[in-house]
Amino acid sequence: MRLVLATRRSALALAQSRAFAEHLKSAVPSLVIEELQVVTSGDKTQDRPLQDIGGKGLFIKELEEALLDGRADFAVHSIKDVPAEIAPSLTLACIPAREDPRDVLVSRTGAPLKALPEGARVGTSSLRRAVALLAVRPDLQITPLRGNVDTRLRKVEEGVVDVAVLALAGLKRLGLAARATEILEPEVSLPAIGQGALGIECRVDDARAHEALAAVVHPETATCVSAERAVMAAVEGNCRMPVAAHAVRAGGVLWLRAFLAEPDGSRMRTGERRVPWPQDALEAARCGEDLGAELRSA
Ligand SMILES: NCc1[nH]cc(CCC(=O)O)c1CC(=O)O
């Protein structure tokens, strides 16, 4: 069987798409995977904060078009970039095992968060990361920092910022984990919804793709991501609201933590749920919906 994989062209997108393709091929040896590289709207506007560009799904729209017009059979996304609602004839058929979901600091001097000098410039365009770090270190100066992982690392080296906040998963996939100077535990920086996980999207009615992708579904990750994404849907999360949700399996329990704040970082409210491990993704989603509704109305 032959399937065409659609991917963005950034170094990170190619690394994770190719690693996923290898993983899928080892699970389904008869599979031949071809790669289709697609440029998305999100890739064309590296210099502006995403929340100013507006619009959801900036990193997936053109990939979805390739699926809809049959140029590709499945698309590999960082599920963090996939909005709550996707095109009706498309589905997230597969969530494979998650990479480390934590954020990290890359600081030029190597100083950890606690030891950064007063007023240090922290590069991040993520409202979630800004809110989390300012809660611990209100003196820090948050500076917008977008672009691919290598661009952001370079801005630290050049001294444009003193420190950048990145996803450890992205660094690991690029073989750059050694650049992290501090891992931020979820207690300090609660990961983004779906961080570290991939989402594989295909046509609802494509039985061949579904059958192949089923071989690499990771049920535990899928359950956690389902709970996290339900928080996003319930708070009607858009890029202007700092929002985080992170679920883990702790023995027989799903432990879901989340926060929501106003766009200016004020009124940060946090919440959590510990429920018996859900039977399926739907039950996990109900838990996330419930927590999201609580945060929204708080
Ligand atoms: N915001 C962009 C983005 N989307 C996905 C990742 C990599 C981490 C992941 O796969 O969740 C990154 C980079 C980052 O946040 O540093």
Q: What percent of the chain is modeled with pLDDT above 90?
A: 88
Q: What value of ipTM does the predicted structure carry? A: 0.92
pLDDT tens digits, 184-219: 999 999 999 999 999 999 999 999 999 999 999 999
Nearest to 79 by CA among 207, 215, 221: 221
CATH number of 103-184: 3.40.190.10
Q: CATH 3.40.190.10 in the chain: give the residue spans.
A: 1-96+197-217, 103-184
Residue 238 pLDDT > 60: no
Residue 46 pLDDT > 80: no
**pLDDT at residue 57, as a whole number:** 79
Contact between 80 and 195 (Cβ < 8 Å): yes
**Integer-rounded Cα radius of gyration of the chain:** 19
Ligand 1, atom 5: nearest CA belongs to which residue? 78
Q: CATH 3.30.160.40 in the chain: give the residue spans.
A: 218-298
- Count the residues in the chain: 298
Contact between 179 and 172 (Cβ < 8 Å): no
Cβ neighbours of residue 40 under 8 Å, at least 6 residues apart?
8, 58, 59, 60, 61, 62, 63
Residue 233 DSSP code: H
The residue behind tokens 């049920």 is: 219
What's the whole-number mean pLDDT along residues 48-57?
62
**pLDDT at residue 263, as a whole number:** 87
pLDDT tens digits, 56-111: 778 899 999 999 999 999 999 999 999 988 999 999 999 999 999 999 999 999 99
Entry pTM: 0.94
Any atom of ligand 1 within 6 Å of the Cβ of 121: no
Contact between 142 and 122 (Cβ < 8 Å): yes
Residue 47 pLDDT > 90: no
pLDDT tens digits, 155-164: 999 999 999 9
Ligand 1, atom nearest to 192 Cα: 11
Q: How confident is the model at residue 51 (pLDDT cuts 50, 70, 90)?
A: low
Ligand 1, atom nearest to 152 Cα: 16
Q: How confident is the model at residue 146 (pLDDT cuts 50, 70, 90)?
A: confident
Query: Mutation test of ligand 1: which of 7, 122, 166, 195 has the most ligand atoms closer than 8 Å to its C-beta?
Result: 195
Nearest to 5 by CA among 79, 82, 83, 71: 71
Instruction: Tell me how far apart the alpha carbons of residues 173 and 167 are, in angstroms, rounded to a whole number.
Output: 10
**pLDDT at residue 130, as a whole number:** 96
End-to-end CA distance of the chain: 51
**pLDDT at residue 58, as a whole number:** 81
**pLDDT at residue 59, as a whole number:** 84
Instruction: Tell me how far apart the alpha carbons of residues 173 and 296 are, in angstroms, rounded to a whole number.
Output: 34
Q: Are strands 163-167 and 121-123 parallel, antiparallel or unpaired?
A: parallel
Q: What SS3 state is found at 146?
A: coil
Q: What is the topology classification, in CATH, of domain 218-298?
A: Double Stranded RNA Binding Domain (3.30.160)
Any atom of ligand 1 within 6 Å of the Cβ of 50: no
Residue 149 pLDDT > 80: yes
- Residue 162 a catalytic site member: no
Helices H / strands E in the chain, number of each: 10, 13
**pLDDT at residue 49, as a whole number:** 58
Any atom of ligand 1 within 6 Å of the Cβ of 146: no
Instruction: Tell me how far apart the alpha carbons of residues 127 and 244 are, in angstroms, rounded to a whole number.
Output: 10
Q: How many CA atoms lie within 13 A of 183 on its CB side?
A: 11
Any atom of ligand 1 within 6 Å of the Cβ of 42: no
CATH number of 1-96+197-217: 3.40.190.10
283 vs 53, more confident: 283
What's the whole-number mean pLDDT along residues 8-12?
95
